[in-house]
Structure 1
Amino acid sequence: MPTRPEDVMRLLTDARPGRLDPDGRPDAANYTTQSIPRRRSVPRRLILAAALPAVAAATAAAVVLTAGGTDPAPAPSGLGGAPGGSGAAAAPGSARELLLVAAAQTDASATATSGRYWVRVQEHGERKEVGRYGIASRLLIERWLATAAGDPNVEVYQDLGAAPVTAADEAAWKADGSPQQWTETGPKGTTPIVRTTAAGPRQVRAVRGSLPMMIAGLQVTAADLAGLPSEPGALKSWLTARLPQHADGDLFYAGRDLVAELPVSAAVRAAAYRMLADLSGVDFLGVVQDRQGRSGLAVAFTRRGDGGWGQQRLIVDPGTGRALAQESWFLGSAATPTALGTLMSWTVHVRAGFTDDAAPTA
């Protein structure tokens, strides 16, 4: 686990955002790790089938924000019976129905539109193949984006510790002696990263300057976000004119970023949901749980890349219209995708919204 600030910042800077995850499985030959079992004196060489964490966007500095933000994170509404917890309304039965319900809930939300900071708290994770099982490499990233030029941006990050990803991974991990530590080696000239099951220290960094923000790989400014159209057709046209590629898959990533990642107004988020509802190739997955165990309904876009079939998922609480999580899955390299896939990386949206609180300093 990296403990020096420069090691952690290198991790964050070099990481690919989840929205740019490859459609296929990364090359297993790129990285190796050494397992240090709890009850063994001789370490073993193990293989990692994933690259450096695709868990965070690059670090950056202050920006003046004028757009609205997403709601502070309430507890997601229950999905027993009808999603949204009403018990009376019929649960959405298709991707289009879910996305239109989410848009209506977003329209109706009472969202704060100003504050000293816009705060976003996320948990990022990535699966690492370690021998016969996978471990989850997890980071908590908290961003305080200043709305006035006199305040710095603040980023807080914490390594949450590694753990087996699934129940099957946990069983294999226990059979392997329950190792508590692994060493990941990267490209020549980089410092090896030691990952352990223990959480690392909470680290705070204040930065000044401009902060890059991305929509489906397109860098945008706070002024761009403030001027986004709030009508779905106009929003699609705005994105189509700017994205290098504007197939439905790229528009799905763009819509997902707008509803889940960026400080845009509720009207723009609702428009993004409605744009997603009109895209072809968006599938309905029904009730799922995110990595924190919260229930929601999921939609997905699947396409084939050089390495195989990849699927991007968006998990939504239909009772509030809030995006709970986004996930990247590998569905195999055969001619057709498998029904069951492997979760490769994820972002859990813990909370986001405006606040007048002072940013943390330590």
Structure 2
Amino acid sequence: MNDLRPLRDYHDAQPDPAPHEVARMRARLAAHTAAQAVPRRTRHQTRHQTRHRTRHRIRPAWGLALAGAVAAGTVAVAQTGGEPGGGPARAESARTVLLAAAQRAETAPTGTYWHVRASNSSGSRTIVRGEWITLDGRRWTAYRDSAPGPGVKAAEIHRLKGLAPMPVSVLGPDPSLSALLKLPTDPRTLRALAERNAPKDGGPHYVTEALIGLLAEQPTTPKVRAAAFRALATTPGTRSLGRTSDPRGRAGAGLAFTFTAPRAPAATPTPAPTASSEIRLVVDTGSSQVLARTVSTAKGELVNDTTVYLFTGWTDEKPRIP
């Protein structure tokens, strides 16, 4: 859908047409051209035919202009959520955002390495981490720390063996690389798999976190990432936050997934209160990239933990310090 943004911008920059002036000038030009193209003795006889031809020739031009205006208007509505007739703007639905991202994810390129590059910040300190994984299981991890502590290197890269620990996945804790690469590409089957492998104490957010893991962190195929987007589109209570930006200023669509779970019963006979948590994503639907993920929990616990994703996907870029 973002591929159509230049068309919308071009259309919006043009001055409003004057339909009656365009029609009048086209008609005069067409009539003059037709009159000059026939002998004088036949002009009177063909005047009616000329007017008919003029109307016939104008109609396709107006049809094309109208189609262009309608198409540009449709793009504007799709991008901004505005309603026809100048109504108030509305954000795209969460389902629309996720399905658009799924369509782009399906055609994402492949490469030699599965690569994730992400950053976390706290105050003035930022740590950027990178991970590369090959199909045969080789793995590299690297980091760069803007404010390392005493005796800690500012940047390092290591070659390791095996996947990093994965406490949350659609296959349960710590899946194998081969199993991740063979996940089903049907959204319903993928969600059912996550539900079946969720631990009893996983909480209501486990399945959503497992699906997001396939989008932002875990090595898998483009079609599986597309299925994860489509599975998330069926998550109850998912909200669209409209157009927003991540901490680096990159534009995207905001999404929120909110969960509630009963707390331990209180000593009083009053009903047990509920604890709430929320996962927020910023998604670039044009590239299917998750730009940022923020986890928020109830007051008194973790308030705001944000990961910014600089890249997630397959690449031929060799491992290096980010």
Residues 1:220 and 2:206 aligned together? no
Aligned to 2:109: 111
C-alpha displacement of 1:160: 2.7
Relative to the length of structure 1, the TM-score reads: 0.55
Q: 1:89 to 1:214 in 2, by over 3 A?
A: farther
> Does the aligned pair in 1 maintain the 2:143–2:155 contact within 8 Å?
yes
Q: 1:353 to 1:103 in 2, by over 3 A?
A: closer
Aligned to 2:240: 284
Aligned to 1:353: 313
Pairs within 5 Å for 1:34-49: none
Residue 197 of structure 2 aligns with an amino acid whose one-letter code is R
Aligned to 2:281: 314
Distance in 1 between residues matched to 2:153 and 2:248, nearest whole Å: 19
1:344 alignment partner, one of 298, 304, 312:
304
C-alpha displacement of 1:146: 3.0
C-alpha RMSD of matched pairs (Å): 3.7
1:207 alignment partner, one of 160, 165, 178:
160
After TM superposition, the structure 1 stretch with the greater mean CA deviation from structure 2, 257-266 or 217-226, is 217-226
Q: 1:78 to 1:161 in 2, by over 3 A?
A: farther
Distance in 2 between residues matched to 1:231 and 1:274, nearest whole Å: 9
Distance in 1 between residues matched to 2:252 and 2:321, nearest whole Å: 34
Distance in 2 between residues matched to 1:287 and 1:343, nearest whole Å: 23
C-alpha displacement of 1:77: 7.8
> Does the aligned pair in 2 maintain the 1:239–1:251 contact within 8 Å?
yes
C-alpha displacement of 1:321: 2.1
Secondary structure of 2:244 counterpart: strand
Residues 1:260 and 2:258 aligned together? no
Aligned length: 232
Distance in 2 between residues matched to 1:200 and 1:95, nearest whole Å: 42
1:327 alignment partner, one of 270, 273, 294:
294
C-alpha displacement of 1:271: 0.8
When you count helix as a share of all residues, which structure comes out higher? 2
Deviations 1:179-206 (A, max 9, x none): xxxxxxxxxxxxxx67xxxx97221222
Relative to the length of structure 2, the TM-score reads: 0.61
Aligned to 1:141: 129
- Deviation above 4 Å: which 4+ runs of structure 1? 76-83, 86-89, 245-248, 304-308
* Higher relative contact order, chain-length normalized (CA < 8 Å, sep 6+): 1
When you count strand as a share of all residues, which structure comes out higher? 1
C-alpha displacement of 1:267: 0.9
> Does the aligned pair in 2 maintain the 1:214–1:220 contact within 8 Å?
no
Q: Alignment identity in percent?
A: 26
Q: 1:161 to 1:328 in 2, by over 3 A?
A: farther
Gaps of 5+ in 1: 1-75, 128-134, 163-192, 334-341
C-alpha displacement of 1:218: 2.7
C-alpha displacement of 1:207: 2.2
Distance in 2 between residues matched to 1:79 and 1:249, nearest whole Å: 34
